[in-house]
Chain A
Amino acid sequence: MEQGIFIFLGLTTVASAWFVAASQNLVRSVFMFFVTLFAVAGLYVFALADFVAVTQIVIYVGGVLVLMLFTFMLSSKETLEKLEESRHPVFTLKQFPALLVAAAFLIVLVNAIFKLKPDQLGWILQATNNTFRPQDNTVTNIGTNLMTTFLLPFEAISILLMMALIGAAHLARKERSFD
């Protein structure tokens, strides 16, 4: 049962990701991107990382995708129509090198994973009583660790996030000297 759900989520992730990659229609690919992100959040739940899954949904689905939808609705209608009419077959000669590079990377990664045998790594075998149990309360533990062990990265990333927000607002501002 659980294995079945896991396989289903994994297949959904991969299939929708490839659909997004192959689709020529921008709107359709953005909506399939939703599906991919939800499936990835489900996979996080299977790795017993419920807090990360919730964060994924809130940040990506709530923030990033709304931002993307805004952007291409702000860009004018003609561009969208021009994008849609320029459809060609899914794999053209222009895309062949990219497909080759992607396939080569995939082969190398899969090969490395199979050679590594992640189930039999030393530190994972030693971590038998350090593994998450489904009844653990992860959120409390994450909060405590975030404020003690990982305080410096936490502060650094908060400052970086603020800089990114200010920079994005500055970049997106209307400038009068443009035309």
Chain B
Amino acid sequence: MLIGACLFAAGLYMVLTKSNAIQVLIGIEFIINAGVINLVAFGKYDRYHNSGQIFALFAIVLAAAATAVALAIILNVYRRFKTIDPGKIDELKD
């Protein structure tokens, strides 16, 4: 759990500081992984229903889906703005 907390803090720091959308995405992955570590750690105490591990699997699948969509969005944004710095993208629709 302590490792999960450290990973969460690292992810949060990355999300807040990075000037590159892909690195922000990696930070989000760290946050998700921190949550999954906790699910698995407590899932150890549920041998008959496996709820911890099963929801850890669901969380991993959700993270993968979110990454796929986010990377598609990043590609699109790059094509439109020629940059992937979230601080420089300041208009919603032309």
Q: What residues make up the interface of A, taking CB atoms closer than 8 Å to B? A: 10, 13-14, 17-18, 20-21, 26, 29-30, 33, 36-37, 40, 43-44, 47-49, 51-52, 55-56, 59-60, 63-64, 67-68, 71-72, 74-75, 79, 83, 86, 94-95, 97-99, 101-103, 105-106, 109-110, 113, 118, 123-124, 127, 130-133, 136, 138, 141-142, 145-146, 149-150, 153, 157, 160-161, 164-165, 167-169, 171-172, 178
Contacts and interface: CB of A to CB of B under 8 A. Distances in A.
Contacts, number: 214
Interface in B44-85: 44-58, 60-69, 71-76, 78-80, 82-84
Contact of A161 (B17, B47, B61, B76): B61
A59 B55 CA distance: 15
A153 B58 contact: yes
B77 to A, nearest CB: 10
Given A67-B67, A146-B54, 17 more contacts: A10-B3, A17-B10, A18-B6, A43-B3, A43-B37, A59-B64, A105-B8, A105-B12, A106-B5, A106-B9, A130-B48, A131-B44, A131-B47, A149-B51, A153-B55, A161-B65, A171-B72
B7 A164 contact: no
A98 B47 contact: no
Contacts of A132: 44-45, 47
B23 A29 contact: yes
Contacts of A150: 51, 54
A18 B60 contact: no
Contacts of B64: 59-60, 63-64, 161
B92 to A, nearest CB: 16
B6 to A, nearest CB: 5
B61 A59 contact: yes
B22 A68 contact: yes
Given A33-B26, A47-B40, A131 B45 contact: yes
